[in-house]
Amino acid sequence: MRTIAQSCDLQFFVCVNQRAAGAALPSCGSGRGNEVYESLRAEAVAWGRRRGLQVWVNRSLCQGFCHADGVNVSVFPLQLRFQAVLIGDLPQMFLEIENKLMGKGETRKA
């Protein structure tokens, strides 16, 4: 094992977990997880560049808080978690992230 010194300013984790058919809980994978991931990846990298930030966007498996209508997105190191995210929610999500980065106000509570 080797330790590497590579970092980013913001790292997004988008749940794309796909549960088996008939599972008791919904899954983000069936809530358009990959679509949200692809859109967020394109938009977040460009958004970060405009602000001089290094941004990484990663797929993840279950983050808990499953929702049938969208996906979970976590943002580190800000420790923000968004639930039921759809592509149309991305502008609001970026606004809340920007506010958190600028120290303005509180982000919405789930």
Q: pLDDT tens, 33-82?
A: 999 999 999 999 999 999 999 999 999 999 988 888 899 999 999 999 99
Q: Which domain holds residue 33?
A: 10-102
Report if residue 108 sits inside a domain.
Answer: no
pLDDT of residue 89: 98
Report if residue 107 sits inside a domain.
Answer: no
The enclosing domain of 56 has a CATH number of: 3.40.30.10
Residue 67 CA: distances (Å) to CA of 15, 18, 28, 72, 77: 11, 12, 7, 8, 23
Residue 84 CA: distances (Å) to CA of 3, 87, 89: 35, 10, 9
